[in-house]
Structure 1
């Protein structure tokens, strides 16, 4: 049986979009390949555990620089697994620039095929973007295949354009099992609706960081009347700033970190899903696809080069407005709030798009095809 080493920045149960995709990738290939995963640990100590029957090697992290993890043990752990496990294929989830340098060194002495799973360009950290430019070129030159999550990202990324002949699109997926609505979720959703009777419930999900665009949603909220209720989940480095921006606006409720039942209940009870991301740091929008699976119409910004506008199609399953234009964002929310039939039509089309393009069954077929063709 051929062997695959997956390299992800972090790994389940660590929560994050890339980590979820990495796990989906591992599970999709599990039946046909022997697999291991190496990642950073969320703490300082090294540890090894088993997830879904797969060995996960976690390297302790002693510090972070510009959101990039650093580990004193990673070099040795990676060298050991490359030598002892001796993978036939390495799937490297990018961005993870510090580990990329270690991997490039290992690949000089390995016959393994390299698949670079390109989740997004480094955009916000300007220093890192410049510093790791030469490394990116070497990484992409070394790669046998480069996976992009949407055709939009290939068109919008100068890095993808530089190796276009190596690129293949594998859209991210949602796991239907994880999306099941239980009686507990239904009951909580009914409570939320009752608490907000007569109001249009809007929900926004994600880490409180600049590219998620929550500041623009808060500005749009100030243009709306009190018939709206806007829930913003999560936390992050901008949480305090966002609270200050929303001060005095009783339409907005910050939930903080919530469990899976509460999150699903919020989305299930909502009338509109708000996805105000503003840059292609938001490469795809997995949370957007999940809300669409629940038949929720979405309001997004236009993001050139991002997969967001590939997932949610303007005028078919949601409304897309000019980037950072809070007046038009508020107008789109008003339009959907005033037209129940439009919400239903967009919601049904949203689920149809997800079911036809972004389910884990389709993902499994796509990722296995990439690896099988690589072997050939």
Structure 2
């Protein structure tokens, strides 16, 4: 009697679960040129301040590097990451059949099978529950949906910017580059509280380190999930994510968090410095987030001349001097508890307002790490929302 078959099956299953992710389900956010231009200006201005030759000691943003800036043409929300395989031409008699092969074709078929449910959510006639079923009992969307003969696309409103979990500042390292000069962008020896204004935005809410600063590896934009359009986005995202999770395509057990990454230190070059964080405190005190809040009427704290050609980020059309507004101050720390531990305070995202929205026509299956002719992700196809 051969008892090795179940053992081999378990090994094969574990290997399958550890396959490197190859594709992901994406909601594109690269369709509104006005928003992309504003984001390009913001990113270029950030890089200007990160340059030790152009930024000053009071406004330089430590830890910023062109390699961690995400090209706006690659902006998206991720609804699920998966490892897809090439279909086997002929199944082997000894091959385990307890789990079907997950392929691009089967993933696209599953995504497109959600078309009726997605269309009903878009039209506001029904609600999509997270288990993929439909409930005909949602008067809120139905009552507020405009009468129209065509199903409108999904409209995404990006209304705040925030960071992922705060981290410790980068450790002091030898950063000898090809030029032989030290990279002074992210050295722990330079970390200080100089220039931090009392009550600066988010400083009391994001968990400062021992010297009163906030460092992170990811800066992202988040969508509004309230109102008619926000509720549609939430329902559609949950429907797609939970369907692919239930069918075994998505194995990540973490809850879905819709976010559009703007800066990501995991892309830092050279690779030996991958993951070294940037100073969120420097970004906040610079007032540069006003590029993402055109409705701000606060007085500009400084002036910056931005030059798109120095960064390679497209669609900026800068080459002009731009005023940077400040943000409303957050409440100061309680005077009765001057030594209270601030790291336990909840995050407080910074509001942004593009005065516009992103129209989404399709949810796509994109190739992980791919680059098209314009540096966009390569799509394998998707499902139309309209």
Instruction: Specify if TM > 0.5.
Output: no
TM-score category of the 2 structures, normalised to the smaller one: under 0.3
Q: TM-score, normalised by structure 1?
A: 0.24
Q: Point out which structure has higher relative CO (alpha carbons under 8 A, 6+ apart).
A: 2
Q: Which has the higher helix share?
A: 1
